[in-house]
Structure 1
Amino acid sequence: MFERTYRQRLEADLARWETDGVITPAAGVAIRSALPPLAPGANIAVVVGIVGGLLIAAAFLAFVAAHWTDIARLLRCAILALSIIAAYGLGAWFARSGRMILADLCASVGAIIFGAGIALVGQMYHLGSDFAGGMLLWAIGALAAALLTGSRGALAVALVAACIWSDMRMVEGDGMPHAPFVAFWLVAAGLAIAWNSRAAAHLLALAALNWWTAAAFQTGLHDQLAVLADGAGLLLGGGLALAALRSPRLSEFGAVLSSYGGFMLAAVAVLGSTAFDSSILLYAPSGHPAWALSCGAGGMLLAFVAAAVTRDSGAALAGLAIALALFAPEQGVAQQDRQPWFAYALELGAMLCLVISGMIDSVRPRIVAGWLGVAGVIAAITWAVKGSLLERSMFLAVAGVVAIVLALVLNALLARDAR
């Protein structure tokens, strides 16, 4: 979690424990003294300084752009090189003086100028028009900057450039996923784990979501819902497996991935419930690609392995949610000529498992994702374009009765365990 938020919660807990007599005031003081000092945050002066610096940089770029054609080529290259040197030099000065937010900002600006320099040099010297290749070069340079400076902003620039590179390669490809991006993502993930940065983990999760979405919708020649479900299953199951490890760094990274996987699984359930009985084309006769199916099945197995290692029923229910979500699109496609009641039931079951899984593990993002999925699936069933409302009301009533019976059974089991 973020360090400042953690300190605030810890301070509140310490005060409550001292009031309740759980710990002595001396123990509270000892705990507070053992904590390292917090890094200074972004106060008003820092924010105003950032805005001022950005305005000056924008003014400089606008001035150079206005006179760009009048400047000799060598001088243009010199301006670009000096701008990059100035950005990183200023960042180094800020880092030495302990102003890490400003140092990170300077590194990010340097990475952005590097990308602009690639485009401008290519335009000046009429180099090859491989735009995707230029994005890859930019991504590698920004990733190197992130590695050398520890800048989260530079990592964000690298991942954005890499996502654009990968998306363009998928558009140019023959329907297969862009595998080289996976290697780039793994290198960036290793960097995020080494930093033990939650912000970097969020960036990696968003990049993974982009890749899976692009892979699902790049050609329309395969079952798009199934591919999206596979990606969600891999993120959720793989994240749970990492979270089950003893390494705090891997555990933190896995927790973030599993949260994004849960939300993606909920989105797939809602999208699938909407598409099963409408004119939205999210499936194709060519079926489920083998590479995607193996990823989804692998995520499901990883969730069950995590459950077996940690003896955590929450992870097991998450694995069951993945299994139901993977099976639902296949049933939706198979029942195109009639009402897809079984597919609806699978999606509802998957979301219910996701909610219970989050409640058992006390993971709020998974609980929220599951509830959003339940609400979305029910709305999709109720307001579907085709079919009888009476039939839908009967289906929802039966599903409600089943849920109430399940709640009674679970309540009885919990009461027995409490005794």
Structure 2
Amino acid sequence: MFEKTYRDRLQADLARWEADGVIAPAAAAAIRQALPPLPAGINIAVVVGIVGGLLIAAAFLAFVAAHWTEIARLLRFAILLAGMVVTGALGAWFAARGRDVLADLCASVGAIIFGAGIALVGQMYHLGEDFAGGMLLWSIGSLAAAMLTGSRGALAVGLVAASIWTCMRVYDAPDVLHLPYPAVWLIAAGLAFAWNSRAAAHLVALAVLPWWIATSLRFELEGAQPSFVLANGAALLFGAGHAIAAMPSPRARQLGSVLSIYGAFSLAAVAILEVTTVDDIIRFRTRTASAQPIWAILCGAAGVILALVSAVFTKRAGEILSACAIGLALLAAPLWPVSTAGEPWFAYAALLCAMLCLVVSGVLDDVRPRIVAGWLGIAGVIAGITWAVKGSLLGRSAFLAGAGLIAMVFATALNRMLPRAER
């Protein structure tokens, strides 16, 4: 929740509670005094200043680009070096005066100029055409700048460069699992944890996806559906997010909650992909075999275990259902080849139950993103089943009608079991 929005709502609630006599005026005043001051936000002057700085930087880059071939090599390098020095000095000046947004912007621009310097040196001196290595160097420099300055923008630049690096390495060597990227990602995750920053946590969560997607699309996995490999990654992200959020540290709770949100949406997206890619709407492989690498299967199993461990410590029923959602989504992979002669009804049922568990989990734990992810997953899976190429439309309609009746019976039984206050 944004801080200013929370403060405005709290002030309105305090005024209403005080008028209704729920709390004494002295208690309301004490609550207001206990609140720390609001952090400095981005006002109109800061926005205009950022736009002006970007325009000046763009004009400088356009001028240099127009005369690039006329500038001597050493002068080109000196220009880029001066750009990094100037942005660093400006960032330090802004940070000393409490202008954190402008200081972050300067660090980000400096990280981008550093990448341009790497490309320039490689172009001028005809270094080895290892573009992926250059991206790794850029990522290392940007992450170092993020460590020194606390810049979220520099962290974003470093993660983007690292994502490009790992995708290129996976493409160049598809028969080798690219493990150095998870090590770089753990460094970035450590920064997000140390900063206790929700923005950094979002960046770290997004940075997981390129590696899993590139790895799942490797062509040496003969017969394996990429969606099955992606399902294991989503399971690990979702389960690990729950486990991290269960730790007593507020930093861990914030990082884990963000990771679990991305894990929930990833699980919903994978459920939709399994229906649409395995059943001939979009075909990635010539076979629907569920053959998966052992490491991917272990990652999926770890996601289920971590979600269950989190449920044990937090005593939340919703997290038990999260583990069920993960397990059912993973169960669809081995169920698919069982029905090669006909339609994979059991796999369809597993995915629908997984998304239903995701929705109920979000309702029980009062986590709205999990509810949204579950509803999107249900809608996507139903659409995929309805428009699947294989089988008859009559059979699919009968399956969906039966699933709907079962859901209604389950809802009725659940409504009678729950106390009236929890319905």
**TM score, norm. by length of structure 1:** 0.96
* Alignment-derived partner of residue 338 in structure 1: 342
Deviation per residue, 1:250-276 (Å, 9 max, x gap): 011000000000001001111112233
Q: CA deviation at 1:293?
A: 0.7
User: Considering only aligned residues, what root-mean-square deviation do their CA atoms show, in Å?
Assistant: 1.8
Amino acid at match of 2:325: A
* Alignment-derived partner of residue 86 in structure 1: 86
Change beyond 3 A, Cα 1:383–1:16: farther
Change beyond 3 A, Cα 1:85–1:313: same
**TM score, norm. by length of structure 2:** 0.95
Q: CA deviation at 1:415?
A: 2.8
Change beyond 3 A, Cα 1:282–1:268: farther
Change beyond 3 A, Cα 1:373–1:73: same
Of the three residues 327, 330, 336, the one matched with 1:326 is 330
Q: CA deviation at 1:8?
A: 3.2
Amino acid at match of 1:195: W
Q: What is the CA–CA distance in structure 2 between the aligned matches of 1:220 and 1:49, rounded to whole Å?
A: 51
Q: CA deviation at 1:280?
A: 2.4
C-alpha contact 1:354 1:370 (8 A) present in aligned 2? yes
Q: CA deviation at 1:279?
A: 4.8
Q: CA deviation at 1:25?
A: 2.5
Of the three residues 222, 235, 238, the one matched with 1:236 is 238
* Alignment-derived partner of residue 279 in structure 2: 277
Q: What is the CA–CA distance in structure 2 between the aligned matches of 1:299 and 1:48, rounded to whole Å?
A: 46
Q: What is the CA–CA distance in structure 2 between the aligned matches of 1:80 and 1:379, rounded to whole Å?
A: 52
Tell me whether 396-405 or 17-26 shows the greater mean CA deviation.
17-26
Q: CA deviation at 1:416?
A: 7.5
Q: Which runs of 5+ in 1 are unaligned?
A: none
Determine whether 1:260 maps to 2:262. Answer: yes
SS of equivalent residue, structure 1 residue 348: helix
Q: What is the CA–CA distance in structure 1 between the aligned matches of 2:214 and 2:264, rounded to whole Å?
A: 19
Q: CA deviation at 1:417?
A: 8.5
C-alpha contact 1:277 1:336 (8 A) present in aligned 2? no
Deviation per residue, 1:350-393 (Å, 9 max, x gap): 00000000000000000000001111111111122232221111
Deviation per residue, 1:121-152 (Å, 9 max, x gap): 11111111110010001001100111111111
Deviation per residue, 1:284-319 (Å, 9 max, x gap): 557111111111100110001111112111101000
C-alpha contact 2:174 2:218 (8 A) present in aligned 1? no
Determine whether 1:4 maps to 2:8. Answer: no
Q: Which runs of 5+ in 2 are unaligned?
A: none
* Alignment-derived partner of residue 167 in structure 1: 167
Q: What is the CA–CA distance in structure 2 between the aligned matches of 1:402 and 1:340, rounded to whole Å?
A: 18
* Alignment-derived partner of residue 64 in structure 1: 64
Change beyond 3 A, Cα 1:217–1:356: same
Taking only the aligned residue pairs, the percentage that are identical comes to 65
Q: What is the CA–CA distance in structure 1 between the aligned matches of 2:367 and 2:27, rounded to whole Å?
A: 29
- What does 1:170-249 align with in structure 2 at a 5 Å threshold? 170-219=170-219, 221=221, 222-249=224-251
- What does 1:305-384 align with in structure 2 at a 5 Å threshold? 305-384=309-388
C-alpha contact 2:228 2:274 (8 A) present in aligned 1? no
